[in-house]
Amino acid sequence: MNALAIALAALALALTTGPAAAETVTITLTGVQARPGPIKASLNTRDQFLRAAPAYEAVAEPAAGGVTLTFRNVAPGDYALMVMHDLNGNDRFDYGVDGWAFSNSSLPMMGPPVFDERKFTVAGAPVTLTETLQY
């Protein structure tokens, strides 16, 4: 095979194996209380977990029973969901006051949340999670 043929084959392969497409992540929150204050959710990479400036954010008004939030165009990768029902409206989490949830809420949490226990992967298909708000 000559150099031109090899280069054309490499180009054809590169054009058909581009980056993975962005996906939709849909979060259903159960156990929501219809109380004042917004529900703020974020998807966070390992570097952003438990810090400001998450990768993706969504806000919803509380509704008794449940709320659904949708994140669109989420890049492939590992993320952890963090949710806060900001009951006192001060735009920060106050333990013992605000409602909260993390991804993989079925796992017990002893101490601060750990990214590797809360992560999920976005890769090649839409993601749907159901988590329960804790008050």
Torsion angle, alpha carbons of 31, 37, 43, 45, to 10: -120
Name the residue type at position 76.
P
Q: Which two tokens stand for residue 29?
A: 């929150």
Are residues 124 and 133 in contact, defined by beta-carbon separation less than 8 angstroms? no
Residue 12 lies in a domain: no
Nearest alpha carbon to residue 117 among 46, 47, 40:
46
DSSP code of 121?
E
Q: Is residue 10 part of a domain?
A: no
pLDDT at 3: 40
Quick one: pLDDT at residue 111?
A: 85
The CATH number of residue 96's host domain is 2.60.40
User: Would residue 6 count as lying in a domain?
Assistant: no
- Residue 53, in any domain of the structure: yes
User: Which pLDDT does position 19 carry in this prediction?
Assistant: 54
Q: What residue numbers bound the domain in which 109 lies?
A: 20-132
Q: Is residue 43 part of a domain?
A: yes
Inside any domain, residue 13: no
**Looking at the domain assignment, is residue 108 inside a domain?**
yes
Please work out, in degrees rounded to the nearest 5, the angle formed at the alpha carbon of residue 121 by the alpha carbons of 58 and 56. 20
pTM over 0.85: no
Among 63, 61, 60, 134, residue whose Cα is nearest residue 97: 134
- Low-confidence stretches of the chain (pLDDT < 50) are 3-18
Q: How many domains would you assign to the chain?
A: 1
Q: What tens digit of pLDDT does each residue of 40-73 get?
A: 999 999 999 998 789 999 999 999 989 999 999 9
In a domain, 42, yes or no: yes
Classify residue 69 as exposed, middle or buried by CB count within 10 Å of its CB (0-12, 13-18, 19+).
buried
